[in-house]
Amino acid sequence: MTKVKPITSTMVFEAFWECPELALVRNFISRLWMRIYDLLQMAANLNQTLMYLWLLSHATCLLGFVGSFFVPGAYDAALVGCTATYVLAVSRHLRFLLSDTRFRGSLSTRAPISELLRGENTILLAMATLMATTAPSVVKMVPFATFASMNLVSFVLLDVMTASHFTKTLVPFLRYVETTILSHMCYWDYAVMAAYAWEGKACWLVIFVVTWLMKLEISELSRKSVHGVLAVVSCVIRASGIVLLVLAMEDLKLGAAVLLPTREILLADKAAATPVINLSLKHRVESLMFDSFSIINDVDR
């Protein structure tokens, strides 16, 4: 009679540990950790503490935002994280301008500092500072937490897993998702305006609106959001049947098309076959606001 060997907890654990699915997960985690370790060692060897600060500020902002739903004090951590993020980005932009020889000896009437003041990161730093000096609001924090999560995901996929076939396949989808999210965040600016208006202090709302108007100059997605809102309002007014309001709305839309041009508007206008207006149509890799670490840290590019 064959003696049946009893199944022990050790046997179950060994069988589970050696299963192919778990081995695949272990291999992925091991490769991910080794890649992160190599990057951290490279930063330490080159004395590039910017990478540590960049990752820490993004992580602090995102974790603080999530934690603010459970721990009130976590909101302050999110404020510190998002402010530190854009202080680093603005300082990076400043170092880039100081190393750029194009501005030396230039006879232009516009001072080089205007490039810094009109930069994406400077505008976001102004918004973050305004948020830090006003009443706590999750609505105000949503865009910064979104940008932090996008940058962290981009860092893992583009800087940590650079040689992965999975990453190369996922990049086009990542670009599409990022553009969609950024477009929604431009519409979220109107919710932030409502949050400042709800506080009952007109000065905060005015400061935010002025900063937002500066953002319209450099962000085509923000300009598209304005046209989107005007299109919705126009539909409502047309449904009302009030001729005077319909005509006024059409004039407003025509004025917005001139002051806030987009690629679609210019392509639809045959007279603007060769547009000369700067539309700020930059690839994400060229943007200072949403660069992965490898681009942000490359000051001399």
What are the tens digits of pLDDT across the range 198-224? Answer: 998 899 999 999 999 999 988 899 999
At which of 202, 218, 234 does a domain end?
218
211/234 same-domain check: no
The set of residues, in sequence order, having a beta carbon less than 8 Å from that of 84 and lying 6+ positions away, is 53, 56, 57, 60
Cβ atoms of 180 and 225 closer than 8 Å: no
Query: Confidence band (pLDDT; 50, 70, 90) for 185?
Result: very high
Residues 240, 96 within the same domain:
no
Q: How many CB atoms lie within 10 A of CB 243?
A: 8
What pLDDT is recorded for position 109?
Answer: 64
- Looking at the structure, tell me whether residues 209 and 225 fall in a common domain: no
CB hemisphere CA count around 58 (13 angstroms) = 22
Q: Which of 218, 233, 267 is the last residue of a domain?
A: 218
Average pLDDT value for residue range 252-270: 83
Residues 204 and 227 in one domain: no
Q: How far apart are CA 117 and CA 148, in angstroms?
A: 22
Residue pLDDT, tens place only, 71-117 = 878 999 999 999 999 998 888 888 888 877 666 666 666 777 888 88
What integer is the mean pLDDT of 25-51?
69
Q: What's the pLDDT at 195?
A: 95
Q: Is 28 inside a domain boundary?
A: no
226/213 same-domain check: no
The parent domain of residue 257 ranges over: 219-288
* Residue 11 pLDDT exceeds 80: no
Q: Does residue 300 lie within any of the structural domains?
A: no
Q: Is residue 29 part of a domain?
A: no
Instruction: Kindly tell me if the per-residue pLDDT of 193 is higher than 70.
Output: yes
Domain match, 175 and 129 both: yes
Quote the pLDDT of residue 141: 95
In the three-class reduction of DSSP (H, G, I as helix; E, B as strand; rest coil), residue 299 is classed as coil
One domain, residues 189 and 72: yes
Q: State the total domains in the chain.
A: 2
Over residues 261-271, the mean pLDDT reads: 75
Q: Is pTM beyond 0.85 here? A: no
String of DSSP letters for 229-288: HHHHHHHHHHHHT-HHHHHHHHHHHHHHHHHS--HHHHHH-GGGSS--S------GGG-S
Contact 261, 223 (CB under 8 A): yes
The domain boundary residue, chosen from 158, 185, 218: 218
Give the pLDDT of residue 107: 60
- Is the confidence at residue 175, as pLDDT, over 70? yes
Question: Both 133 and 243 in a single domain?
Answer: no
Q: Which amino acid is at 4?
A: V
If you average pLDDT over residues 250-269, what whole number do you get? 85
Residues 290, 147: contact at Cβ < 8 Å? yes
Indicate whether 146 and 191 sit together in one domain: yes
pLDDT tier at 30, thresholds 50, 70, 90: confident
> Within the chain, where are the H helices?
9-17, 20-45, 50-67, 74-99, 113-117, 120-132, 138-155, 165-198, 202-218, 220-240, 243-259, 263-268, 293-296
Do 180 and 236 lie in one domain? The reply is: no
The pLDDT of residue 44: 57
With b meaning 16 or more CB within 10 Å and e meaning fewer, what string describes 252-291? eeeebbeebbbeebbeeeeeeeeeeeeeeeeebeebbbbb
Of 44 and 23, the one with more pLDDT:
23
Tell which wins on pLDDT, 183 or 42: 183
pLDDT band at 138 (very low <50, low <70, confident <90, very high): very high
